[in-house]
Structure 1
Amino acid sequence: ARLFKIRVEKFCLFFDPWFTLFKFKPKNSDTQYSIGWLPLGGYVKISGMIDESMDIEQMKQPAQPWEFRSKSTWQRLLVMIGGVLFNFILALFIYSMILYAWGDSYIPLQKAEMGMQFNETAKNIGFRDGDILLTADGKELFRYDADMLRQIVDARIVTVLREDRQEQIYIPDNLMQSLITDSIRFASYRFPFVVDSVIPDSPAAIVGIQQGDTIQSLNGKPVAYY
């Protein structure tokens, strides 16, 4: 609005029904700056904009150069979408800062040294436990998530690393239909079965399991991964 020389009568952070927490009008300024008590957004009151705050008597007067209604159509459009646009930009900024501060935790597929554990559907089309997923139709796969699974379903060829050599797996057209009926996820990471901590006086502590132990077998059956 200021860019198009439109008079801004009030700029309010948050909403202020009934009363205002703070208001200030600089000397030689037409704008009152306020802080409301209802933190659900904010608003701007612009001269000559027809809304519930419009002075009916003012509307009977000829449009003044500083009023919203005197501006061209494209200028009024830009003013009206300005709030929505900056809300969108603010949301991008906030989420970017969250991502920068806390990051995004995941294990890159190429770092999964023990590979993946696959369900029966995956094994039937050629995947083997321990395979490390590399590419789908030549495009590198970075992390195991819904987007990666969609890449595999849409691909014709998936390349995996198996026992230090690359293998190609041809994906059938009906893979998605098979996955829909599966009760077990297509694949999951394989991790070493290492004890992180032991609760004092718990059954694990009583039988002698200690922090840092690697579980090798259960009832004589080898356990290679968690």
Structure 2
Amino acid sequence: MKKKIWLWNHYATDMYKNKGGRHYWFAENLIKEGYDSTVFCANTYHNKSEFIDTGKKKYVIDILNGIPFVFVKTTTALGNGLDRVKNIGLFYWNLRSVAKAYAKEHGKPDVIIASSVHPLTMVAGIQIAKKMNVPCICEIRDLWPEAIFSFNKAKENSILGKVLVIGEHWIYKKADALIFTKEGDTDYIKEKKWDTVQGGDINLDKAHYINNGVDV
């Protein structure tokens, strides 16, 4: 029986439209290697009013070039205001029931790969993987919330900043494995002294670097 891999990326809807992109190519190549690979994403396009209609359902499925895409219902969002917060929150909320329903129909996964940019996809991945008793690999494509602090969207020593850092630490700790897309990103964990070598609780042996690569 083929091993099932679920790839979660809120914004992979654009990869569906463009027929290319990191997780489209992940799924494509995993299928070639004999895995049953499925991409879960929002039914909305990033920063566009365009969306994929789910009707009265929480999700719809479409198969593109042999890759199943599961579109999770959420709201459209333009810009980075409250609409985007609602879009992210609803995706996280619906993803839980969608994962349960999809697993009931197609079987539970052998592993979930939950990818940022925003952290709630990874939080959902960890929570749902635990319920299904399968491992969750968290992929960090942006050093969140460090990027928020760098652009002065929030102060690290503020209440919000501290909550975000606690959440980030929780993700790194609870993930069964970590993927970073930029070489040297694990230095950030060392700077925070979260790694086990410095008395922390994150074993960097579970951290891996996978860039986008080149199709040759």
Same fold (TM over 0.5): no
Per the normalisation by structure 2, the TM-score is: 0.22
Per the normalisation by structure 1, the TM-score is: 0.21
Larger C-alpha radius of gyration, 1 or 2?
1
* Higher relative strand content: 1
Higher RCO structure (Cα 8 Å, ≥6 apart): 2
* Higher relative helix content: 2
